């Protein structure tokens, strides 16, 4: 079976599940990128062009348990805490920038020629080329754990690793470079 047929098969197989998780019909849903321990979709991939417009959020976290844990971390102020660490660490800033660049390269591999042409002809390619994980334009900003973690489940990144540590034990969390 060819790769495109495999993706279409996964989308067809999981469309109802994804619709239920999102509470709406998924726009731009084009593949399942990561599964949870129960074998259910945890992260979906979204087309970089949705309804004729650029959509820079490549991966979408749909795992309810992980999303709830991340909701609680965000509500407890962990984004601001980690952002302070990032703001004070050239190493973390560099790791985040590298993660964004890797993400842009990965997103580029998924663009079809038709999508590339459409975005180029409409002068909208920068909506993808200038934005990294979760559509973030500022490479040193965290903004949202959900988008970082969705990307992390596909290709590891420093913020996703920090979220792993936080989910394992928020009370004992200690930022660890490495």
Taking only the tens place, the pLDDT of each residue in 67-100 is 999 999 999 999 999 999 999 999 999 999 999 9
Structure tokens given for 7: 């993706």
Please tell me the total count of domains within the chain: 1
Q: What local confidence, expressed as pLDDT, does residue 1 receive?
A: 52
Q: Does pTM top 0.85 for this prediction?
A: yes
**Measured between alpha carbons, how far is 173 from 66 in angstroms, rounded to an integer?**
17
Residue 15, domain extent: 3-168
Query: Can you tell me the mean pLDDT for 129-144?
Result: 95
Considering the chain, what is the average pLDDT of its residues? 92
Calculate the CA 131 to chain-centre distance: 12
Enclosing H/E stretch for 60: strand 59-61
Q: Is residue 147 part of a domain?
A: yes
pLDDT of 172 above 70: no
Side-chain-side CA neighbours of 74 within 13 Å: the count stands at: 15
Structure tokens given for 47: 């087309």
Q: What local confidence, expressed as pLDDT, does residue 118 receive?
A: 96
pLDDT category at 8 given cuts 50, 70, 90 is confident
Q: Is residue 173 part of a domain?
A: no
Q: Is residue 21 part of a domain?
A: yes
32: β partners: 44
Contact yes or no for 146/61 (Cβ under 8 A):
yes
pLDDT of 119 above 80: yes
**Measured between alpha carbons, how far is 166 from 11 in angstroms, rounded to an integer?**
31
Alpha-carbon dihedral angle through residues 99, 75, 29, 15, given to the nearest 10 degrees: 140
Q: Is residue 174 part of a domain?
A: no
């Amino acid at each position: 079976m060819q790769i495109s047929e495999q993706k279409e098969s996964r989308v067809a197989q999981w469309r109802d599940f994804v619709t239920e998780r999102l509470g709406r019909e998924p726009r731009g849903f084009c593949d399942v990128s990561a599964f949870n321990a129960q074998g259910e979709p945890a992260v979906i991939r979204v087309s970089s062009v949705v309804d004729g417009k650029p959509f820079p959020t490549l991966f979408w976290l749909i795992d309810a348990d992980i999303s709830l844990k991340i909701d609680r971390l965000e509500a407890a102020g962990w984004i601001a805490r980690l952002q302070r660490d990032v703001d004070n660490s050239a190493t973390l800033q560099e790791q985040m920038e590298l993660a964004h660049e890797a993400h842009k390269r990965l997103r580029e591999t998924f663009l079809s020629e038709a999508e590339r042409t459409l975005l180029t002809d409409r002068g909208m390619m920068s909506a993808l080329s200038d934005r990294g994980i979760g559509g973030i334009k500022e490479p040193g900003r965290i903004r949202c754990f959900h988008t970082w973690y969705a990307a992390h489940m596909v290709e590891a990144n420093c913020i996703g690793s920090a979220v792993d540590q936080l989910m394992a034990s928020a009370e004992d969390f200690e930022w660890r470079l490495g």
